[in-house]
Each structure stands twice: as C-alpha cells, then as structure tokens.
Amino acid sequence: MFKTILLPIDLQHESSWKTALPAARRLLDEGGTLHLLGVVHDVGNAWVASYLPKGYEQRALEEMKAQLGDFVSRELGGVAGVTTHVGHGHVAETIIATAEKISADMIVMAAHPPDELRTFRVSSQADRVVRHSPVSVMLMR
C-alpha cells in the first residue's frame, strides 16, 4: 500500500482514468492522499502562440482547475484525501516533476495498448514516464 499516489488524467478521455482511478484507490493507504494531475500542454512555439487569443494559456490553466474540481465532485464525492494539481508543459516531464514535488510513492496511469509502429516512431507518454520516473509506476490498460 502507498501513502501518496499521483494519478495523471486527461479529462477529455475517460480511458485515462476509468481503470486507473479504481486501481489507485485500492493501492492507497488509509489516510493517504490521492493526487490528481491535469496537464495543460505548452504551446511551445512563439509563432503558434501568436495566433492564440491573449491570455489563452492562463484561461486554459484556470479551466483545467475548475474541471478537475468538477471531476472530483462527480467521481470522488465524499472521498477524503484527494488533492488536485494543474501542470503546464510537456506531459511526461510534468508528471515526473509533480511526482517529485509531492514526494509520490507511486504513479498510477493509463496506457494505450501496445502498438509497435507508433511506439517506434513516437514514444508514448507512459513509456517516457516509466523510463524516467524516480518512483514505481503502475500502468493500467
């Protein structure tokens, strides 16, 4: 059992939490904390950013925070020990940085079924987290 678990989720895709959330709850110690992380992708390019409305990223961060709050109310209403975090940047890097920041004992996250061609071309976020995480990672499919 674990005292501090990080669960990164993509609120636009139920598959990112449908099986991972129950697994994380089962692994969590009594009195432990489940940290939910939503990541707002970094635009990463000044040229692209110039086409976005002024304040776009700040509004996206605020909206993510509100959506995470709604998610907790809907899916975890009444469950103690749940904290939400909004990250900004590259997904895998943000997950690892957040795990370090909160001193996570475990990261639980969803992963797509293996696809050798896609994995060869562009490594999945879950693969990057597994390879670089300082703590154990449980992938749910």
- Give the count of beta carbons closer than 10 Å to the beta carbon of residue 109: 25
Residue ranges making up the domain that contains 102:
2-140
CA distance 95 to 121: 22
pTM, 2 dp: 0.89
Is the pLDDT at 68 greater than 50? The verdict is: yes
Phi, psi dihedral angles at 26 (to 5 degrees): -65, -35
On whether the CB atoms of residues 135 and 105 are closer than 8 A, the answer is yes
* First-last CA distance in the chain: 20
Two tokens at 135?
């703590």
Q: What pLDDT digit, counting tens, does each position of 7-36 carry?
A: 999 999 999 999 999 999 999 999 999 999
Question: CATH number, domain at 110?
Answer: 3.40.50.620
